[in-house]
Amino acid sequence: MAAAKIAPSMLSSDFSNLATEAQRMLDCGADWLHMDIMCSHFVPNLTIGAPVIESLRKHTKAYLDCHLMVTNPLDYVEPFGKAGASGFTFHIEAARENWNELIQKIKAKGMKPGVSLKPGTPIEEVYPLVEGENHVDLVLVMTVEPGFGGQKFMPEMMDKVRKLRQKYPSLDIEVDGGLGPSTIDAAASAGANCIVAGSSVFGAPEPAQVISLMRNRVEGVKAAW
Ligand code: DX5
Ligand code: ZN
């Protein structure tokens, strides 16, 4: 059964002290570090690229869960592989024509492939990517419109998570956007095991408490999935 993984979103960290912030999150019990890679053609924002991943990699052995909100993910496979990314999650909306090639290349570079979908994209679109020999290891269900931290969780996205969990009992299912102590139960009971959280973790007086609360809620309900 899929284990709980709590992934603080470094988008909410102090980017000028990234290595220190990463270590602080690991000390607080984070399983993964979620890295939001955005280009302004795919979302109305611009964040970090492979050079930042490469710099951070020199300071940590942590699993770097890279979420690529970009229009041309194929162009980034090689640089992110070299930079030391662990997971490479692309958006289906940007890869409808070439997801098969993309998955192969991500694996060839030693990264774990994942696919994400925006709130308006039906869950059925990712089924072919989860099935078959050349499949993704993770599906990231966006629970806000991608682009910014600090937005409100969309509970209606839990239907997608429930459908996925029913079909794929051991798949890593990640949720991203508006997750925190007040929304974790909805996500966990629907079947999400990988939890991305930016503002609720970085904004908390005790991030370790928020991380352990979320892990406990996932572990507590997963027998009922
Ligand atoms: C949004 C990003 C998220 C974001 C989540 O496009 O993918 O990872 O940082 O932030 P919160 O948890 O504040 O909604
Ligand atoms: Zn993200």
Q: Is 141 exposed, middle or buried (0-12, 13-18, 19+ CB in 10 A)?
A: buried
**75 tagged catalytic:** no
CA 90 / ligand 2 centre spacing (Å): 10
Nearest residue to 98 via CA among 67, 122, 77: 77
Residues 6+ apart with CB under 8 A from 185: 217, 221
- pLDDT of residue 218 exceeding 90, the answer is yes
Relative to beta strand 32-38, strand 138-142 is unpaired
The Cα 132–Cα 109 span in angstroms is 20
pLDDT tens digits, one per residue of 152-182: 999 999 999 999 999 999 999 999 999 999 9
Lookup: tokens for 193: 């095991």
Q: Which of 47, 196, 202, 210 to mutate to test the pocket of ligand 1 (most atoms within 8 A of CB)?
A: 196
CA 224 / ligand 2 centre spacing (Å): 27
pLDDT tens digits, one per residue of 144-159: 999 999 999 999 999 9
Kindly tell me the sign of the dihedral angle through the C-alpha atoms of 212, 184, 35, 92: positive
- pLDDT of residue 36 exceeding 90, the answer is yes
Candidates 31, 65, 172, 176; catalytic one: 176
Candidates 31, 36, 65, 172; catalytic one: 36
Residue 149 among known ligand-binding residues: yes
Angle at the Cα of 182 (from 176 to 138), degrees rounded to 5?
25
Identify the residue whose C-alpha is closest to ligand 1 atom 10: 149
**176 tagged catalytic:** yes
The SS3 assignment for 167 reads helix
Indicate whether this model's pTM tops 0.75: yes
Residue 36 among known ligand-binding residues: yes
Lookup: tokens for 182: 């007040």
How distant, in Å, are the alpha carbons of 149, 158, 161, 170, 198 from that of 129?
Answer: 27, 20, 15, 15, 27
CA 209 to chain CA mean position, Å: 21
Under the banding of pLDDT at 50, 70 and 90, the label for residue 132 is confident
